[in-house]
């Protein structure tokens, strides 16, 4: 076998600079020369796009094309999609003054012939004072958009017009876990019962950080009533570990006969922190949950948005990290890698996942869900609305749908969308100074 396998080489005096896959430090100049000669004698790359990895030396990018992605063209890649958005009917945001907010929707399930979604609902006398002003919050004035919130739910026949049903879980009396705010919930159905996992705040978010553990409530019906278990179900990590202060976005799926709860933690000191997700596994919805020793399993993404896909689990990675705006896949639910790169992914996606709890190693994927927009997003310097609202997204990340429009890689947007990304005053000032 050649000492330098499948590599694209540039010989620099005695060393080898390579952008290929494998280098052999013991390769001699003679080896390199031979390899160069054999590369020189290679036939040109085929015109007909090879559907499987060609048996020939490949560039690093072409190796990746076959090793990483489900198909060489995104149009044929079951885990590539565009995302389209639709406004929802049935949710009232009052005077649009930031006193009513809805955000962080759960996955959507279908029960009794209707779609169900649960979400964080805040109705307060004033809009939030902001994370860094948490000291100005009171028992009636929220620090953040998700402070002083309860968990509400809504149902729908078509996924566009929703009927708000009211509270599912109200924040309990002080000092019970979650007395300050119950937020960012997600649903599990297990042996005929329903479980809502949620963030249980016992201080205003922003006081010391966005600190909270995860609690759970259970019910015999998706319409409740819900009984809160007054204990930390997924406790924060030990002191000095990545999830010591926060477990966010608990996201249950049933996988390999067990309950897999993916969750997010923001670690490191703000504002230079990293956001990533890990996994806790249990045989019983009320625990005990064992955290995966390799946590965090992701290096990017602001929320948990996962779904069973083929024999593994796929994830939408949004907003934070080197790998944001990717769709990732782990054939074992643990070893996630990039399966496609997309754009305009939904924030805080709660997808409709018909097989979230019974995929049996044959996950079919997703075609729609609900996400949120926060009012201040897209507005520089803190302008915009101080609340969040729910919207629908559609996509084709499904083995059962073939929608070529969702697979179009070219995203043409109106120039106004680009011009809405305005430079801040500080940036304008820098540019002005640079040209002086
Ligand atoms: C969200 C989620 C968690 C955070 C906050 C409310 O996007 O990541 O729920 O705590 O923001």
List 366's β-bridge partners, or say none.
397
Q: How confident is the model at residue 34 (pLDDT cuts 50, 70, 90)?
A: confident
Q: Among the atoms of ligand 1, which is closest to the Cα of residue 264?
A: 8
**Average pLDDT, integer, range 315-323:** 95
Task: For residue 265, report the distance from its CA to the centre of ligand 1, in Å.
Answer: 10
The reported pLDDT for the residue numbered 26 is: 75
Return d(Cα 197, Cα 118) in angstroms, integer.
11
Are 236 and 362 found together in one domain? yes
Q: Strands 227-234, 248-255: parallel, antiparallel or unpaired by DSSP?
A: unpaired
The reported pLDDT for the residue numbered 129 is: 93
Q: Is residue 129 part of a domain?
A: yes
Return d(Cα 298, Cα 291) in angstroms, integer.
14
Domain of residue 297: give its range: 84-419
Q: Is residue 135 part of a domain?
A: yes
Q: Does residue 4 register a pLDDT over 60?
A: no
Stated as kind and residue range, the H or E segment containing 298 is none
Q: Is residue 435 part of a domain?
A: no
351-368 confidence digits (pLDDT tens): 999 999 999 999 999 999
Are 134 and 262 found together in one domain? yes
Are 290 and 196 found together in one domain? yes
Are 26 and 169 found together in one domain? no
Encoding tokens for residue 200? 């249980």
Task: For residue 249, report the distance from its CA to the centre of ligand 1, in Å.
Answer: 7
Give the list of residues 6+ apart from residue 109 with CB closer than 8 angstroms, or none.
115, 116, 187, 189, 222, 352, 353, 356
Are 36 and 163 found together in one domain? no
143 CB under 6 A from ligand 1? no
Are 96 and 149 found together in one domain? yes
Give the residue, 382 or 40, on which the prediction is more confident.
40
Q: Which of 41-50, 247-256, 408-417 has the highest mean pLDDT?
A: 247-256
The reported pLDDT for the residue numbered 365 is: 98
> What is the best residue among 145, 246, 348 to mutate for testing ligand 1's pocket, by most ligand atoms within 8 Å of CB?
348
Q: Is residue 148 part of a domain?
A: yes
303 CB under 6 A from ligand 1? yes
Q: Is residue 196 part of a domain?
A: yes
Q: Does residue 244 register a pLDDT over 50?
A: yes
Q: Is residue 427 part of a domain?
A: no
Give the list of residues 6+ apart from residue 362 with CB closer than 8 angstroms, or none.
310, 311, 355
Q: Is residue 25 part of a domain?
A: yes
The reported pLDDT for the residue numbered 12 is: 33
360-391 confidence digits (pLDDT tens): 999 999 999 999 998 766 555 555 567 999 99
Q: Is residue 285 part of a domain?
A: yes
Secondary structure (3-state) at 421: coil
> Residue 391 is part of a domain; what is its CATH number?
2.115.10.20
What percent of the chain lies above the pLDDT cut of 90? 81
Q: How many domains does the chain have?
A: 2
> What is the best residue among 197, 250, 303 to mutate for testing ligand 1's pocket, by most ligand atoms within 8 Å of CB?
303
Are 156 and 186 found together in one domain? yes
115-145 confidence digits (pLDDT tens): 999 999 999 999 999 999 999 999 999 999 9
Q: How confident is the model at residue 421 (pLDDT cuts 50, 70, 90)?
A: confident
The reported pLDDT for the residue numbered 33 is: 83
Q: Does residue 21 register a pLDDT over 60?
A: no
Task: For residue 348, report the distance from its CA to the centre of ligand 1, in Å.
Answer: 8
Are 35 and 179 found together in one domain? no
Question: CA angle 411-413-415, nearest 5°?
Answer: 145
173-212 confidence digits (pLDDT tens): 999 999 999 999 999 999 999 999 999 999 999 999 999 9
Q: Among the atoms of ligand 1, which is closest to the Cα of residue 266?
A: 8
Are 403 and 378 found together in one domain? yes
Question: Which residue among 42, 67, 92 closes a domain?
Answer: 67
Q: Does residue 14 register a pLDDT over 60?
A: no
Q: Which of 33-42, 46-55, 58-67, 211-220 has the lowest mean pLDDT?
A: 33-42
Are 363 and 401 found together in one domain? yes
Long-range contacts of 362-365 (CB under 8 A, 24+ apart): 362/310, 362/311, 363/307, 363/308, 363/309, 363/310, 363/311, 363/312, 363/313, 363/314, 364/308, 364/309, 364/398, 364/399, 364/400, 365/78, 365/307, 365/309, 365/314, 365/397, 365/398, 365/399, 365/400, 365/401
Are 104 and 130 found together in one domain? yes
Q: CB of 60 within 8 A of CB of 67?
A: no
Task: For residue 120, report the distance from its CA to the centre of ligand 1, in Å.
Answer: 10
Are 112 and 231 found together in one domain? yes
């Amino acid at each position: 076998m050649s000492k330098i396998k499948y590599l694209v080489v540039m010989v620099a005096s005695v060393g080898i600079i390579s952008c290929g896959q494998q280098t052999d430090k013991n390769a001699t100049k003679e080896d390199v020369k031979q390899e160069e000669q054999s590369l020189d004698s290679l036939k040109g790359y085929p015109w007909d796009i090879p559907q499987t990895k060609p048996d020939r030396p490949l560039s690093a990018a072409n190796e990746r094309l076959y090793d990483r992605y489900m198909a060489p063209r995104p149009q044929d890649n079951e885990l590539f999609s565009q995302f389209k958005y639709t406004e929802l009917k049935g949710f009232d945001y009052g005077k649009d003054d930031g006193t009513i907010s809805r955000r962080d929707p759960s996955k959507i399930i279908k029960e009794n012939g209707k779609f169900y979604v649960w979400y964080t609902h805040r109705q307060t006398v004033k809009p939030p004072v902001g994370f860094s002003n948490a000291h100005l919050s009171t028992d009636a004035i929220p620090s953040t958009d998700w402070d002083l919130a309860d968990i509400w739910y809504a149902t729908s026949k078509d996924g566009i017009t929703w009927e708000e049903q009211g509270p599912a879980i109200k924040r309990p009396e002080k000092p019970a876990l979650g007395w300050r705010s119950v937020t960012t919930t997600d649903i599990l159905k297990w042996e005929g019962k329903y479980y809502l996992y949620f963030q249980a705040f016992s201080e205003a978010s922003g006081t010391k950080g966005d600190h909270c553990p995860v609690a759970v409530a259970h019910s015999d019906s998706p319409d409740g009533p819900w009984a809160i278990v007054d204990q930390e179900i997924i406790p924060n990590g030990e002191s000095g570990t990545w999830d010591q202060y926060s477990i966010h976005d608990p996201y249950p799926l049933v996988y390999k006969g067990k309950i897999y709860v993916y969750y997010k933690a923001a670690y490191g000191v703000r504002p230079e922190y990293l956001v990533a997700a890990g996994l806790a596994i249990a045989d019983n919805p009320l625990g005990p949950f064992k955290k995966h020793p390799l946590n965090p399993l992701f290096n990017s993404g602001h929320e948990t948005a996962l779904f069973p896909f083929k024999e593994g689990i796929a994830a939408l990675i949004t907003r934070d990290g080197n790998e944001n705006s990717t769709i990732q896949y782990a054939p074992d639910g643990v070893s996630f890698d990039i399966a496609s790169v997309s754009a305009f992914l939904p924030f805080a996606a709660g997808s409709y996942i018909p097989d979230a709890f019974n995929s049996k190693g044959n996950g079919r994927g997703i075609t729609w869900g609900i996400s949120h927009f926060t009012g201040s997003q897209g507005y520089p310097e803190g302008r915009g609305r101080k609340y969040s609202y729910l919207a629908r997204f559609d996509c084709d990340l499904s083995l059962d749908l073939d929608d070529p429009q969702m697979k179009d890689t070219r995203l043409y947007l109106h120039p106004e969308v680009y011009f809405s990304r305005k430079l801040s005053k500080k940036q304008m000032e820098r540019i002005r100074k640079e040209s002086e």
